[in-house]
């Protein structure tokens, strides 16, 4: 069982990672509708992959878990 603090920390870190990756992709893009759509697709694919890796890494961290 996860504590609320652990869940909050995970959510905050994940949102920072997502913000940074989208900012980088947006910086590299031109701003056209086609590129905007590509950015959304690329960001979704990257975000999904990173989230899976992120969750697997967090599953190995014992900090913040209730004693069961």
Q: What is the pLDDT of residues 37-57, one digit of tens each?
A: 677 788 888 888 888 888 889
Q: Residue 12, exposed/middle/buried by CB under 10 A (0-12, 13-18, 19+)? A: exposed
Residue-level pLDDT at 68: 60
Q: Is the dihedral of CA 28, 30, 31, 37 positive or negative?
A: negative
The domain locations on the chain are 4-58
Check residue 16 and give its pLDDT: 86
* pLDDT category of residue 27 using cuts at 50, 70 and 90: confident
Spacing of C-alpha 59 from chain mean position = 15
Cβ 25 vs Cβ 42: under 8 Å: yes
């Amino acid at each position: 069982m996860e504590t609320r603090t652990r869940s909050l920390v995970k959510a905050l870190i994940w949102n920072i990672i997502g913000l940074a990756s989208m900012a980088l992709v947006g910086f590299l893009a031109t701003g056209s509708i086609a590129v905007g759509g590509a950015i959304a697709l690329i960001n979704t694919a990257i975000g999904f992959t990173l989230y899976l890796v992120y969750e697997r890494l967090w599953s190995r961290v014992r900090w913040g878990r209730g004693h069961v």
